[in-house]
Amino acid sequence: MKKYSLIDVFSGIGGFHSGFLNTGRFELLMAADFNKDCESFHKENHPELPFEKVDLSLIDEQKYWDEKGIKEVDVLIGGPPCQGFSTIGNRASSNSNKREKYDIRNNLIGHFINHVRVLRPKYFIMENVRGLTTYRKGNFFEDVMEEFNSIPGYKISHKILNAADYGVPQIRYRTFVFGHRTLLEENPYPEQTHFENGINGHKHKTVGQAINDLVGKENKIPNHAPLKHGEINIARYKLIPEGERMPEDKLPPELYRKNFGNTFKRLHREKPSLTMVPGHNAFPIHPTENRSLTVREAARIQTFPDDYIFTGNRQAQCIQVGNAVPPVLAENWANHVLKILDKYE
């Protein structure tokens, strides 16, 4: 069967392109990211794949791809962070109907849009946080979509998807902006495959299904070393029922502290996980053990295979895992895109 070319910019460790490559129908031309730990991850796990450590905020996209001899690509994917923005035009005031308008070109998202302009992919997908659509009262996203829609020849949409609805054992909402120039009328995003109420027997995957078998294997497999928690935190963890948060109103004075966050939420074996957020070396609490999840357990919940080795210090590993697009969700996207491209061809 025909293979299609793929480029992943702002790739991180490549969860997004991993899902595409799992279909066996895509050839990765390039993955690019500026993070040194992502570079070391690729060298450790996929030295055969083309990866380049490059600051994508500084390049001229046309010159960059011309120098690589890449004129176009079938599919472009990526997850540019929403960092740094400036405003142009008139600022909104209390007595004016005008609003701030954002110079998307100076944002990393603007650089992703430039890659679309230059490479003219048949299909592109940009992944970002759920809050992108409501940031700055939605004005920023409105300008993002205006910039995308200024590219001629594309039909462009956006949708917030929950990874749990696609077989990932995790409640993880993310914004996807996607577009194609095939002119085909198709469902614009992958159809949901898993359901909270188990429609057609396809119930949301659970934490227990993902990690129960890892209990007792601590320090015996890569990236499965528990944090050494202090006695006070262990005492706190013991008070958290499965699937619940720290009962702050029932804590003795010696265990009380301010700002108990998600790192003091115990997961439930029979439910999907909270979103894996790359915090300060700590993920949520294990359903049955009085400790936070290990990097390996978080990776399982993100649907990474056990033969992936996460490199760098623990914080770097947490960031690598937590920032990634879950490969299983990405594979759903890949199969959806294949249906469109196969018809287009």
Distance CA 183, CA 153 (A): 9
pLDDT of residue 212: 98
Segments in the chain forming alpha helices (H): 15-21, 36-45, 61-67, 108-119, 139-149, 207-211, 231-237, 295-301, 314-323, 327-344
Whether the pLDDT of residue 96 is over 60: the answer is no
Q: Which CATH class is domain 4-199+324-344?
A: alpha beta
Whether the pLDDT of residue 299 is over 60: the answer is yes
For residue 187, name the pLDDT band (cuts at 50, 70, 90). Answer: confident
Query: Are residues 79 and 56 in contact, defined by beta-carbon separation less than 8 angstroms?
Result: no
Strands 155-162 and 101-102: unpaired
Backbone angles phi, psi at 264, to 5 degrees: -115, 35
What DSSP letter does each residue of 87-126 carry, written as one string?
EESPPP-TT-S---EE-GGGSHHHHHHHHHHHH--SEEEE
Whether the pLDDT of residue 89 is over 80: the answer is no
Distance CA 180, CA 163 (A): 22
Q: How many Cα atoms sit within 13 Å of 282 on the Cβ side?
A: 16
| Catalytic residue IDs | 82
Label residues 186-212 b or e (16+ Cβ within 10 Å = b).
Answer: eebbbeeebeeeeeeeeebbbbbebbe
How confident is the model over 266-277, as a mean pLDDT? 95
20: which 2 tokens? 């595409």
Whether the pLDDT of residue 142 is over 90: the answer is yes
How confident is the model over 130-149, as a mean pLDDT? 92
Q: What's the pLDDT tens digit per position in 22-56?
A: 999 999 999 999 999 999 999 999 999 999 999 99
Specify which residues 78 forms β-bridges with. Answer: 9, 126
Matching residue, tokens 């770097």 = 316
Query: Are residues 101 and 88 in contact, defined by beta-carbon separation less than 8 angstroms?
Result: yes
pLDDT of residue 185: 67
Lowest pLDDT segment from 134-143, 223-232, 276-285: 276-285
pLDDT of residue 97: 62
CA 183 centroid distance within chain = 28
Q: What's the pLDDT tens digit per position in 204-237?
A: 999 999 999 999 999 999 999 999 999 999 999 9
Whether the pLDDT of residue 183 is over 80: the answer is no
How confident is the model over 87-96, as a mean pLDDT? 44
Burial of 213 (0-12, 13-18, 19+ CB in 10 A): exposed
Whether the pLDDT of residue 313 is over 70: the answer is yes
CA 21 centroid distance within chain = 16
Whether the pLDDT of residue 94 is over 50: the answer is no
How confident is the model over 155-183, as a mean pLDDT? 95
How confident is the model over 226-254, as a mean pLDDT? 93
Query: Percentage of the chain surpassing pLDDT 90?
Result: 80
pLDDT of residue 16: 98
**Which comes out higher in pLDDT, residue 280 or 124?**
124
Whether the pLDDT of residue 278 is over 90: the answer is no
Burial of 91 (0-12, 13-18, 19+ CB in 10 A): exposed
How confident is the model over 57-77, as a mean pLDDT? 96
CATH 3.40.50.150 residue ranges of the chain are: 4-199+324-344
Strands 75-78 and 51-53: unpaired
